[in-house]
Amino acid sequence: MKTEEVRILWLFVFFDLPVGTKEERRHATRFRNFLKDDGYMMLQYSVYARVCRGEEAVDKHLTRVTKSMPRKGAIRSLQVTDKQYARMRLLLGEQKKSERIAPQQMVLL
DSSP 2-45: -GGGPPEEEEEEEEE---SSHHHHHHHHHHHHHHHHTT-EEEET
Q: What is the pLDDT of residue 94?
A: 80
pTM of the full structure: 0.79
Predicted confidence (pLDDT) at residue 102 exceeds the cutoff of 80: no
- At 39, the pLDDT band (50, 70, 90 cuts) reads very high
* pLDDT at residue 2 tops 60: no
Q: How far apart are CA 76 and CA 15, in angstroms?
A: 6
31 burial (CB, 10 Å; 0-12 / 13-18 / 19+) is buried
Q: What is the pLDDT of residues 72-97, one digit of tens each?
A: 999 999 999 999 999 999 888 886 66
Quick: pLDDT tens for 58-70.
Answer: 999 999 999 999 9
- Write the pLDDT tens digit of every residue in 14-25: 999 999 999 999
